[in-house]
Chains A and B, each alone.
Chain A
Amino acid sequence: VVVCGGDTRQVKAWGRLEELCRLRLDDPARRPELDQLAQRVASLLDAPIALVSVALDEAQMFLGGCGLTGWLADIGGTPLEWSFCRHVVGSGREYLVADAMTDPGMRDSPLVTVAGIRSYAGVPLVSRFGFVIGALCVKDYLPGSFTSGALARLRQEASGVMDLLERDSVSST
């Protein structure tokens, strides 16, 4: 896995951004499948929101998802500094938040202070060339922690997301 360190410059690493291009993430044809996958994940993990989120250089973009409502559903992504996803991409590891109100990395994010997200579990989406492009995640308006079994399912589903993205991607850079 090509881990981008915690700072923003690493998230902007050229190779990772090239990988986003190779994966043709703006292809709208994938949306229904990714939405369906997100619905399955939300159901499996008993969470109201599930998202396939990709970290661009300065924003996260939702490739698919379920459960978002209101203005958050309309915008299709958020500035990167609001996102939980950036912690997954920055570390290359799972990121778990049991209560975002007390999480130093997230408590000031509008996702928490305005949208009311309280808990989060996200696992890395890793491309076949080893780049962490984003996260498959679940969010809840209630605080709480996710079980190890739930995380295992999330990892499994993340692999399915990458299979789908790689299936239709440009075969080489």
Chain B
Amino acid sequence: MTDILAYGQPEPTEETALRALTDLFGPQMAEATWATAVRAAGLTRPLHSIDDVQKAAEELTRLGDRIARVAGRSLRVRVIAYRALSGWSREGHPAAPGRQRRGPGGAGGGVGTETPPVGRGQG
């Protein structure tokens, strides 16, 4: 497992996917549901890459069980978010808890702004 340690974000893996399904369905049904998704994705367990986990997540979103589809969407978001944060990290942006920026990336982000709280939203 690869963590983006500075952000405290663990890489989604087959193990974490199974854990999430187990929370919903219990261990036996979770195992069966995951196995079905992996098979449907044309993969063989154990899964070794985040690409494969994403493929299995996509299949989960198409399975017949409605709650499994919710879990599949969750897993897909987690994989995509992890990839996005990894990309951000690889681009050389240091993780800096307490860092303050005016905008989420791009030019002219205004790093280091320290602004006192103000009241807003009179609408």
Query: CB of A31 within 8 A of chain B?
Result: no
> Please, what's the 1-or-0 string for B95-123, where 1 marks a CB less than 8 Å from any CB in chain A?
11111111111100100000111111111
Give the segment of B36-44, B45-53, B67-75 that binds chain A: B67-75
Query: CB of A56 within 8 A of chain B?
Result: yes
Given A70-B105, A113-B7, A113-B95, CB of A59 within 8 Å of CB of B120: no
| A61 and B85 alpha carbons, distance in the complex (Å) | 17
Query: CB of B84 within 8 A of chain A?
Result: yes
Query: CB of A78 within 8 A of chain B?
Result: yes
**Chain A interface SS verdict (over half):** mixed
Query: CB of A45 within 8 A of chain B?
Result: yes
Quote the shortest CB–CB distance from B89 to chain A (angstroms). 9
Quote the shortest CB–CB distance from B7 to chain A (angstroms). 5
| A45 and B106 alpha carbons, distance in the complex (Å) | 25
- Residues of A close to B115: CB separation below 8 A: 118, 142-143
Given A57-B20, A69-B106, A114-B95, CB of A150 within 8 Å of CB of B120: yes
Residues of A9-55 whose CB lies within 8 A of B: 9, 12, 14, 17-18, 20-21, 26, 43-47
Quote the shortest CB–CB distance from A7 to chain B (angstroms). 12
| A56 and B67 alpha carbons, distance in the complex (Å) | 10
Query: CB of A171 within 8 A of chain B?
Result: no
Given A18-B66, A57-B71, A141-B101, CB of A74 within 8 Å of CB of B84: yes
* Other-chain residue from B67, B77, B97 in contact with A78 (beta carbon distance below 8 A): B77
Q: Are A59 and B77 in contact (CB under 8 A)?
A: yes
**What are 25 A-B residue pairs whose CB atoms fall within 8 Å in the complex?**
A46-B121, A57-B74, A58-B74, A59-B77, A59-B81, A60-B77, A61-B73, A61-B77, A79-B81, A80-B74, A98-B117, A113-B98, A114-B7, A114-B88, A116-B99, A116-B100, A116-B109, A118-B100, A140-B120, A142-B102, A143-B117, A149-B121, A149-B122, A150-B121, A150-B123
What is A's interface to B at a CB cutoff of 8 Å? 9, 12, 14, 17-18, 20-21, 26, 43-47, 56-61, 68-72, 74-80, 82, 98-99, 101, 107-108, 110, 113-116, 118-119, 121, 138, 140-147, 149-150, 153
3 nearest A-B residue pairs (beta carbon)? A150-B121, A116-B101, A70-B105
